[in-house]
């Protein structure tokens, strides 16, 4: 049986249209975003928990330029189109959109989710998009990180095994 991946959108306008269709169907929309460079078990656990907060999960993926600017010149390891493709095949994910901004403020304004989810490494005082989430009426949710599961820790583990 073939599995149909979630749609991958390439503009905020497409994300707005997709989200409105979900709302029109009576679905509660959940939004999260990040780089998702080197997809790992922490990401999968986080996305499953985010999906449980509503009926449709849209995942924003920072594009390559934003990832380089925010994570450094060695990143991303995986191009945004491939990161989006991997995410689109996860059962918890209903839609993926690649966006070029450093923060998700514009994405929040286009999607206007019922719930905006971020990892437990943030709180309302440290989240750059907190004011925008409140502006669009999104409920905020913070999901605890899975200890030992981050892209940085995966990279460190790989490098330590192959270091001379």
For the stretch 21-67, pLDDT in tens is 999 999 999 999 999 988 988 999 999 999 999 999 999 999 999 99
- C-alpha–C-alpha distance, residues 112 and 28, integer Å: 11
What is the pTM assigned to this prediction? 0.92
Terminal CA-to-CA distance of the chain, rounded, Å? 45
Considering the segment(s) 8-162 as one domain, its CATH architecture is: 3-Layer(aba) Sandwich (3.40)
Mean pLDDT of all residues in 64-82: 93
* 62 Cβ contact partners less than 8 Å away, ≥ 6 residues apart: 33, 34, 35, 70, 80, 98, 99, 101, 102
Enumerate the domain spans of the chain. Answer: 8-162
Give the closest residue to 87 by CA, choosing from 128, 37, 14, 121. 37
Using one digit for the tens of pLDDT, what is the confidence trace for 78-107?
999 999 999 999 999 999 999 999 999 999
Cα separation, 143 vs 120, whole angstroms: 5
Partners of residue 45 on adjacent β-strands? none
């Amino acid at each position: 049986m073939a599995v149909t991946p979630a749609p991958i959108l390439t503009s905020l306008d497409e994300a707005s249209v997709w989200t409105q269709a979900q709302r029109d169907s009576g679905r509660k929309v959940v939004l999260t975003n990040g780089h998702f460079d080197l997809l790992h078990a922490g990401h999968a656990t986080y996305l499953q928990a985010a999906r449980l907060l509503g009926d449709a999960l849209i995942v924003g993926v920072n594009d390559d330029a934003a990832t380089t600017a925010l994570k450094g010149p060695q990143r991303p390891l995986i191009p945004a189109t491939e990161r989006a493709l991997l995410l689109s095949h996860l059962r918890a994910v209903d839609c993926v959109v690649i966006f070029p901004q450093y923060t998700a403020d514009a994405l929040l304004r286009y999607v206007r989710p019922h719930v905006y989810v971020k990892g437990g490494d943030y709180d309302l005082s440290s989240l750059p998009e907190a004011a925008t989430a409140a502006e669009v009426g999104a409920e905020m949710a913070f999901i605890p990180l899975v200890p030992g599961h981050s892209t940085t820790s995966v990279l460190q583990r790989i490098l330590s095994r192959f270091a001379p």
